[in-house]
Amino acid sequence: MIRERKENHVVTVGYTLMCEQTGPKQLVDYAVRAEAAGFDQLVVSDHYYPWLDSQGHSPYAWSVLGAVAHATRGPS
């Protein structure tokens, strides 16, 4: 006999903060807006050096995460 599996499948939707494309203040603003829009999680890119010369320098991801934690409610 085959048993039917009943599980709760939960889908979460996240937003990626792209450090190599945006400065730290704007990344924090994006995070606040993403939270207000209902995104479940944030992901931040971490690059020591930009992929393209036209992208400029990447902010330090851990500092950005600290500022995001200060500006948002965080996990619930």
pLDDT tens digits, one per residue of 37-58: 999 899 998 876 656 666 667 8
The structure's pTM equals: 0.76
Residue 6, in any domain of the structure: no
Query: Measured between alpha carbons, how far is residue 56 from residues 20, 39, 59, 63 in Å?
Result: 7, 28, 10, 18
Domain that holds residue 44: 14-71
37 by Cβ neighbours in 10 Å (0-12 / 13-18 / 19+) ranks as exposed
In-domain check, residue 9: no
Parts of the chain with a pLDDT under 70: 1-7, 9, 48-56, 75-76
Q: Which residues pair with 17 in a beta bridge?
A: 44
Share the mean pLDDT of the chain.
Answer: 83
How many domains are contained in the chain? Answer: 1
**Distance (Å, rounded) from C-alpha 76 to C-alpha 59?**
27
